[in-house]
Amino acid sequence: DTGVSQDPRHKITKRGQNVTFRCDPISEHNRLYWYRQTLGQGPEFLTYFQNEAQLEKSRLLSDRFSAERPKGSFSTLEIQRTEQGDSAMYLCASSRSGSAQFFGPGTRLTVL
Amino acid sequence: AQSVTQLDSQVPVFEEAPVELRCNYSSSVSVYLFWYVQYPNQGLQLLLKYLSGSTLVESINGFEAEFNKSQTSFHLRKPSVHISDTAEYFCAVSDASGGSYIPTFGRGTSLIVHP
């Protein structure tokens, strides 16, 4: 399978815990994006990387959120001290520069 | 900054009937336009895109959309829908002049096809 993969698919955690999600993009794609999607809404941009460089971050990305793409391949998104408002679907997408994005299946986070 | 308005949150339709899902955008610069589809419990899939050239773009499964610059619209149409078209449809716009190509998504339209 050469699509975008995300792990885990579901995560349930208690408020205050830290969580980390992983995204593996399509191998020849140099751009990687993270989005958050809540029920009844479209995806909202969080951050994106070109190769290993994080080029843009949304205001939605509070200081509890951090993303890395250390070797320009897979990426991780960490949320520290989770809050109930962090409950959402976290989507990863990848693309070649200037072309459409391909999305992964998402990680559904539930914070109790 | 761009914004996208999907005027209908839900569109019910009978099988084999035509359908139009409306999308309007606002932007001060030239744009790329996209429609994505999300089937239940799956990720978003690109349905079709307008980057340049012909204003009418088509997908492999019978959907089409027309870029109308004067009306700032990119409505999605299908002449005859199937039960399997039941899904959430998202319109998105990105800045064609910048380098990030980060799309702004609409809130989505739920297409419900009844037998």
DSSP state letter for A98: T
Helices (H), B1-115: none
How far apart are alpha carbons B23 and B65 in whole angstroms?
10
pLDDT per residue over A36-79, tens digit each? Answer: 999 888 999 999 999 999 998 998 888 999 999 998 899 999 99
Task: List the structure tokens of A37.
Answer: 């999607």
Residues in A closer than 8 angstroms to B90, CB to CB, are 42-43
Task: List the structure tokens of B46.
Answer: 């690109």
* Pairwise CB contact (< 8 Å): B43 & A55: no
Looking at the predicted structure, is the pLDDT value of residue B12 above 80?
yes
Q: Could you give the C-alpha distances from B38 to A39, B28, B89, in angstroms and in order? A: 13, 28, 6
What per-residue confidence (pLDDT) applies to A1? 52
Task: List the structure tokens of A13.
Answer: 């955690």
What per-residue confidence (pLDDT) applies to B98? 66
Element (H, E) at B112: strand B109-114
* Pairwise CB contact (< 8 Å): A42 & B45: no
How far apart are alpha carbons A70 and B15 in whole angstroms?
48
Q: Which residue has the tokens 């002049």?
A: B97
pLDDT per residue over A69-111, tens digit each? Answer: 998 899 999 999 999 999 999 999 999 876 778 999 999 999 9
Q: Could you give the C-alpha distances from B61 to B28, B40, B46, B48, in angstroms and in order? A: 32, 18, 12, 10
Residues in A closer than 8 angstroms to B108, CB to CB, are 40-42
How far apart are alpha carbons B19 and A67 in whole angstroms?
40
Which of B92, B80, B115, B113 is closest to B37 using CA atoms? Answer: B92
End-to-end CA distance of chain B: 41
Buried b (16+ CB within 10 A) or exposed e, B5-15: ebeeeebebee
